[in-house]
């Protein structure tokens, strides 16, 4: 079985000429890329000893060190083992205007796990779905994704391994896996082909590279890469089709339909608080032991009482097992990446709890209303967020989303109180008043958000918070219930 | 043997009152701290089951989640094992205006290694020296460092371990180490006391905390902490004494004494380049195998040819085993920390090479001349940098520092060429011209830098670069020689 029909390698003179031309082209393109803020992700996959590292080494000689990173992804760190599958790739995404070269990546990881029997057919199919979504989200969000597979024949691989094995300084380069791969060349070839077939998207196709000679490998990669950059630069302004929702949804009320008359007296509050915090403390120990990751996401009106609510949760937790992530406007290095990057990189380890005080839903609220992203961007975001939360769900995370609800009058009363109390003044800014002026626009956006992102696996929970005590107890109760469900206790 | 004489725990009423007072004080201080940009590092050490986590959990209830991080440092990650001892602590330093709580840290690590026999007397003494320097550098650079040791008696420890052991959800909290520690309580106590004696600096003293009851523990820690913050806030404007140099130095010439007539013809250049790159390629394999970390630092005049010089080094390297770090002006999150933070966090793993295109010496060049730090800051920096490089040396790193030297006329010629060549224009900015106007001031600063930081273990190497070919070959030769020395080959 042949993998594909390679183009013939040109003669020495032509090779030299074309190499020089394309190297100069890439050197010029790097400045354009920087200027136009195009991020380029190059995924270099291929057979063991095919020369992935060598090829990357040659390509980057044409790029200023300020504009690229090389990421070696062969081995997972302990931390990465305790994160979702896509985490380590998301974490290493290039900034706008820069290159990232991945020395093997999600293909290698997936095919390896499939061959070693760690993935069932079902989990393999899920994985393929994750990869397709990941790549589509990248290209939809303006990334150029170039995927190369360096191919060598079984015979050539054998020859190379023999050369490496001879010297102490190079023999470590042959891993046990390379040996295994070579022994099962045919089987591996099938797995590679099937993966490539399943993940060949028109926005991020696979390029097969004949890797029998080094210069010829470099030439093919450089020519495809520079072509890809040309095309991506000319397509930058294009909008992206909106996808239909494919996830099962939960019915949710509109904000205006939510009664806000719920209250709790002081005694009941104290009793319930003690009881639920004690229970949560136990559950925290248990989820640590069972290595369940938990994500609690808070959104809500300014002055709705998010901070105090979060404090009643964390008051029951061991500080070694949770983190609160207050989300402000993104820093420059965050803005330069996929908008979900700063949330992917803040995900908890298994067994830990991450609490987000404001979240990725900023995309469809403040970013939408303040014009920080295009209409196409935020309209696409509902689906992108549902996909993100699906990844978390597939990973085994407990995801709890709270909308903390108050009415406009309550907000005014609390703003005024903050303004008039010296110790609370830092909590109120001009921006809060400006946001208040846009209450109605926000209400429209929030309603749309809740309708479109209350999937069955990650529905919104409304916390009626005109009485903060009521909202705190409700939040604690929901957290306790959700944890009990997953930890299998009543 | 008693560790120290604890103060008596106050009665219930007094305890309650004082707790409330000090909690409110801390809540107020957090805003002041933010405003005055004071960073606070709280190191929480103590016996197993003394309640370090619990105590941190109580303290942070008084602080807004935006203003603190809790860092659990018990276990080293694989990455941290391949970095110098102080790396994981430096990496987690708080930003200006924020708290970081370390749940055990450099004391625990050191004492543990001492007790398990991993440190000889000599390496233990070096470690103590590192810790003292680390803490002094922090307080000298404006950090408040609060160190607590939570003490419980042998009997109390036994009682607590029995309670934890009974339940499946808490029994995992007792580590093998806790069991060992309890068995060797006396021996551990001696080791703790000796460590604390050796590292009790007046700028960062140890506080012994009677940890037999939780609320009393919290009260003591909060009272010391808030006092410490008061004092640090009132001392912020103070300058710090300059320390005498204690490191052996190498004699170095002044820049004006360096002859710049060295040249290389094209043929010799090509031959030597091929030969040295081939050799470097071999050595790169070997240092990867032997896990030697390598740091190559480049400083020099604008247009001296640093970029091209670096390229001749990297051209011989496998991209999976090196990284180039181009150093520009610091980002906000970098500026908010110790000025060496962004270099500590960019150190290579063992077996890897990190190349710095501009370095930590910015402190005594651009930051000095542009007034980005105070005079006291940059005058102190020579010693701080020598200490930093001593850490790298003790770790086993090969550190090579290059000053790329040209004269003023050569710079003008290269600037003009860049200005007149379209593909090179991005390389020249107004700032380059402004820096050129300050040539003489820079020369004074560079001379002082080279004199004061050419330690025997990390001397500067001058690369005469009016002929770039000469400089490249000289750099390659020095790198090859230094690696050969360490790798023990000729």
Contact A318 B53 (CB under 8 A): yes
In chain B, what is the straight-line distance between the N-terminal and C-terminal CA atoms, in Å? Answer: 56
| Alpha-carbon distance B54 to nearest alpha carbon in chain A (angstroms) | 7
How many angstroms separate the CA of residue B64 from the nearest CA in chain A? 8
φ/ψ of B9, rounded to 5, equals -65, 130
Start-to-end C-alpha separation, chain A: 56
Interface test with B, best of A70, A71, A169 (most B CBs within 10 A): A169
Q: Å from B371 to nearest chain A CA? A: 25
Say whether B45 sits in a helix, a strand or coil.
strand
How far CA A200 is from CA of A164, A186, A194, B120, in Å, comes to: 33, 21, 10, 57
- Residue A28 has its nearest CB partner, among B78, B333, B423, at B423
Mean pLDDT of all residues in B454-468: 97
Q: What is the arithmetic mean of pLDDT over A33-54? A: 96
CB contact under 8 A, B169 and A31: no
Distance from CA of B354 to the nearest CA of A (A): 12
Q: Is residue A18 packed enough to be buried (19+ CB in 10 Å), middle (13-18) or exposed (0-12)?
A: middle
Q: Report residue B74's pLDDT band, with 50, 70 and 90 as the boundaries.
A: confident
Given pLDDT bands bounded at 50, 70 and 90, which one contains residue A1? very low
Q: Which residues pair with B210 in a beta bridge?
A: B151
Residues of A in contact with B169 (CB under 8 A): 282, 285-286, 289
Closest CA to A92 of A70, A112, A114: A70
Distance from CA of A259 to the nearest CA of B (A): 30
pLDDT in tens, B289-309: 999 999 999 999 999 999 999
* B398: Cβ contacts below 8 Å, ≥ 6 apart: B287, B292, B293, B294, B295, B482, B483, B486
**Cross-chain residue pair A285–B170, CB shorter than 8 Å:** yes
pLDDT confidence of residue A8:
85
pLDDT value, residue B2: 57
Q: How far is CA A449 from CA A254, A403, A445, B178, in A?
A: 10, 11, 6, 49
Q: Is the pLDDT of residue B236 over 90?
A: no
Residue A247 main-chain phi, psi, to 5 deg: -100, 145
| CA-based nearest distance B319→chain A, Å | 5
* Residue A318 to residue B57, Cβ atoms within 8 A: yes
Rounded to the nearest integer, the mean pLDDT of chain B is: 94
Q: How do residues A262-291 score in pLDDT, each as one tens digit? A: 999 999 999 999 999 999 999 999 999 999
Residues in chain B within 8 Å Cβ distance of A64: 307, 326
The pLDDT > 70 percentage for chain B reads 99
Mutate to test the interface with A, among B320, B324, B429 (most CBs of A within 10 A): B320
pLDDT top residue among B174 and B132: B132
Of A64, A103, A426, the CB nearest to B320: A103
For residues B85 and B27, the answer to whether their CB atoms sit within 8 Å is no
Confidence category of residue A238, pLDDT binned at 50, 70, 90: confident
Helices (H) and strands (E) in chain A, counts: 21, 10
Asked if residue B171 lies in contact with residue B228, where contact means CB atoms within 8 angstroms, the answer is no
For residue B94 the two structure tokens come to 């708080």
The closest CB to that of B79, out of A77, A282, A307, belongs to A77
Which residue of chain A has the CA closest to B64? A307
Q: Tell me which of A53-62, A166-175, B99-108 is least confident.
A: A166-175
Q: Is residue B395 pLDDT above 50, yes or no? A: yes
Among B99, B10, B7, smallest CA distance to B56 is for B99
Query: Range with the lowest mean pLDDT among A230-234, A466-470, B407-411, B419-423?
Result: B419-423
Residue matched to tokens 């330069």? A336
Q: Average pLDDT of A227-244?
A: 88
Kindly determine whether residue B53 and residue A320, on different chains, have CB atoms separated by under 8 Å. yes
Question: Looking at beta carbons, which residues of chain A come within 8 Å of B99?
Answer: none
Question: Which residue of B lies nearest to A289 if distances are taken between CA atoms?
Answer: B169
Q: What is the mean pLDDT of residues B310-337?
A: 94
Q: Rounded distance, CA A402 to CA A167, Å?
A: 60
Distance CA B313, CA A99 (A): 21
Decide if A319 and B101 are in contact by the 8 Å CB cutoff. Answer: yes
Say what the pLDDT of residue B158 is.
95
**Residue B120 Cα, gap to closest chain A Cα (Å):** 29
Chain B residues close to A70, C-beta within 8 Å: 319-320, 323
CB contacts of A319 in chain B (<8 Å) are 53, 56-57, 60, 70, 101, 103
Q: Which of A61, A173, A320 sits opposite B103 (nearest CB)?
A: A320
In whole angstroms, give the CA distance from residue A91 to residue A341: 7
Using a CB-CB cut-off of 8 Å, the residues of chain B touching A65 are 307, 310, 314, 324-326, 355, 357
Distance CA B476, CA B473 (A): 5
Percent over 90 (pLDDT), chain B: 87
Q: What is the pLDDT of residues B144-170, one digit of tens each?
A: 999 999 999 999 999 999 999 888 878
pLDDT at site B1: 46
Q: Which of A3-17, A373-387, B311-325 has the lowest mean pLDDT?
A: A3-17
Residue A280, phi then psi, degrees to nearest 5: -65, -40
pLDDT of residue B426: 81
Residue of chain B with shortest Cα separation from A326:
B66
CB atoms A77 and B72 under 8 Å: no
Q: Is the pLDDT of residue B490 over 60?
A: no
% of chain A residues with pLDDT over 90 = 87
| pLDDT, tens digit, 9 for 90 and up, residues A467-481 | 999 999 999 999 999
Say what the pLDDT of residue A167 is.
Answer: 85
Give the CB-side neighbour count of residue B126, counting CA atoms within 13 A.
15
Inter-residue contact B388 to B359 (CB < 8 Å)? no
Average the pLDDT over A33-55 and give the result.
96
Contact A169 B286 (CB under 8 A): yes
Q: Does A398 have pLDDT greater than 60?
A: yes
- Kindly state the average pLDDT of the residues B195-210: 92
Segment B84-95 shows an average pLDDT of 97
The pair of three-digit structure tokens given for residue B431, joined into one six-digit string = 């700032």
Mean of pLDDT values over B233-252: 89
Q: Which residue of B has its CA nearest to A67?
A: B326
B3 pLDDT band, cuts 50/70/90, is: low
For residues A314 and A355, the answer to whether their CB atoms sit within 8 Å is yes
- Å between A282 CA and nearest CA of chain B: 7
What's the average model confidence in pLDDT over A34-52? 96
Q: Tens of pLDDT along A250-266?
A: 999 999 999 999 999 99
Average pLDDT of chain A to the nearest whole number? 94
Q: Do A319 and B170 make contact, defined as CB atoms within 8 angstroms? A: no
Identify the closest residue of chain B to A426 by CA–CA distance: B31
Asked if the Cβ–Cβ distance from B426 to A310 is below 8 Å, we say: no
Q: Degrees (nearest 5) of the Cα angle A321, A325, A327?
A: 170
Residue B43's pLDDT band (boundaries 50, 70, 90)?
very high
Is B319 in contact with A423 (Cβ distance < 8 A)?
no
Give me the total of CB pairs closer than 8 Å, taking one residue from chain A and one from chain B: 103
The reply to whether residue B331 touches residue A331, judged by beta carbons under 8 angstroms, is yes
With a threshold of 0.95, tell me whether the complex ipTM lies above it.
Answer: no
Q: Give the closest residue to A482 by CA, choosing from A294, A299, A306, A346.
A: A294
Nearest to A319 among B60, B77, B288 (CB): B60
Residues in chain B: 490
| A chain contacts of residue B28, beta-carbon cutoff 8 Å | 423
Contact A72 B423 (CB under 8 A): no
Confidence of residue B50 (pLDDT cuts 50, 70, 90): very high
How large is the average pLDDT for residues B228-235?
92
CB contact under 8 A, B61 and A170: no
Domains of chain A plus CATH, in order, are 12-235 (3.40.50.300), 255-487 (3.40.50.300)
pLDDT at position B169 is 78
Cα-based angle B337, B442, B357 (whole degrees, multiple of 5): 55
Q: If residue B349 lies in a helix (H) or strand (E), which one and from where to where?
A: none
Task: Please give the pLDDT value at position A490.
Answer: 52
pLDDT in tens, A97-126: 999 999 999 999 999 999 999 999 999 999
**Which of the residues A46, A168, A287, A319 would you substitute to probe the B interface, choosing the one with the greatest number of B C-beta atoms within 10 Å?**
A319
pLDDT tens digit sequence for A294-343: 999 999 999 999 999 999 999 999 999 999 999 999 999 999 999 999 99
Mean pLDDT lowest for which of A379-393, A417-431, B61-75, B267-281?
A417-431
Of A170, A289, A314, the CB nearest to B172: A289
CB B165 within 8 A of CB B174: yes
Which residues does chain A have within 8 Å of residue B77's beta carbon, measured at their own beta carbons? 77-79
Cβ neighbors of B244 (< 8 A, separation 6 or more) are: none
d(CA B443, CA B219): 55
pLDDT band with cut points at 50, 70 and 90 for residue B424: confident
Residues B401-418 pLDDT 10s:
999 999 999 999 999 999
Distance from CA of A286 to the nearest CA of B (A): 5
Q: What is the pLDDT confidence band of residue A3, given thresholds at 50, 70 and 90?
A: low
Q: d(Cα A417, Cα B217) in Å, to the nearest integer?
A: 35
Cβ distance of A172 and B357 shorter than 8 Å: no
């Amino acid at each position: 079985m042949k993998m594909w029909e390679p183009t013939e390698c040109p003669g020495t003179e032509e090779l030299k000429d074309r190499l020089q031309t394309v190297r100069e082209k890439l050197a010029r393109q790097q400045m354009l890329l920087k200027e136009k803020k195009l991020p380029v992700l190059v995924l270099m996959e291929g057979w063991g000893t095919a020369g992935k590292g060598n090829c990357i080494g040659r390509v980057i000689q044409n790029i200023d060190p300020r504009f690229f990173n090389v990421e070696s992804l062969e081995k997972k760190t302990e931390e990465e083992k305790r994160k979702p599958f896509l985490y380590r790739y998301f974490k290493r995404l290039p900034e706008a205007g820069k290159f990232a070269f991945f020395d093997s990546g999600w293909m290698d990881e997936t095919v390896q796990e499939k061959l070693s029997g760690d993935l069932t057919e079902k989990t393999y199919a899920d994985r393929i779905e994750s990869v397709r979504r990941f790549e589509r989200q990248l290209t939809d969000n303006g990334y150029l994704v170039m995927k190369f597979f360096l191919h060598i024949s079984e015979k050539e691989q054998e020859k190379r391994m023999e050369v490496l094995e001879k010297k102490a300084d190079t023999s470590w380069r042959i891993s046990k896996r390379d040996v295994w791969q070579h022994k099962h060349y045919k089987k591996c070839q099938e797995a590679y082909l099937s993966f490539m077939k399943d993940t060949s998207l028109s926005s991020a196709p696979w390029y097969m590279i004949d890797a029998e000679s080094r210069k010829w490998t470099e030439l093919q990669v450089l020519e495809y890469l520079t072509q890809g950059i040309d095309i991506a630069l000319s397509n930058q302004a294009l909008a992206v089709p909106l996808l239909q929702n494919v996830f099962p949804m939960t019915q949710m009320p509109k904000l205006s339909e939510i009664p806000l008359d719920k209250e709790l007296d002081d005694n009941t509050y104290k009793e319930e608080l003690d009881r639920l915090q004690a229970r949560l403390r136990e559950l925290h120990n248990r989820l640590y032991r069972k290595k369940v990751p938990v994500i609690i996401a808070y959104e809500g009106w300014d002055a709705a009482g998010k901070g105090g609510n979060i404090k009643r949760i964390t008051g029951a937790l061991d500080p070694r097992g949770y983190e609160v992530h207050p989300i402000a406007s993104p820093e420059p290095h965050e803005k330069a990446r996929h908008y979900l990057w700063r949330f992917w990189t803040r995900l908890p380890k298994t067994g830990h709890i991450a609490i987000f005080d404001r979240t990725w839903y900023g995309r469809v609220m403040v970013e939408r209303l303040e014009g920080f992203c295009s209409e196409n961007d935020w309209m696409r975001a509902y689906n992108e967020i549902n996909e993100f939360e699906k990844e978390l769900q597939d990973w085994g995370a407990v995801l709890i989303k709270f909308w903390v609800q108050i009415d406009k009058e309550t907000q005014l009363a609390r703003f005024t109180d903050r303004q008039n109390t010296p110790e609370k003044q830092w909590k109120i800014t001009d921006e809060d008043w400006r946001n208040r002026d846009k209450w109605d626009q926000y209400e429209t956006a929030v309603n749309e958000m809740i309708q479109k992102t209350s999937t069955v696996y990650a529905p919104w929970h409304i916390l009626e918070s005109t009485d903060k005590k009521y909202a705190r107890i409700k939040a604690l109760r929901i957290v306790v219930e959700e944890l009990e469900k997953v930890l299998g206790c009543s």
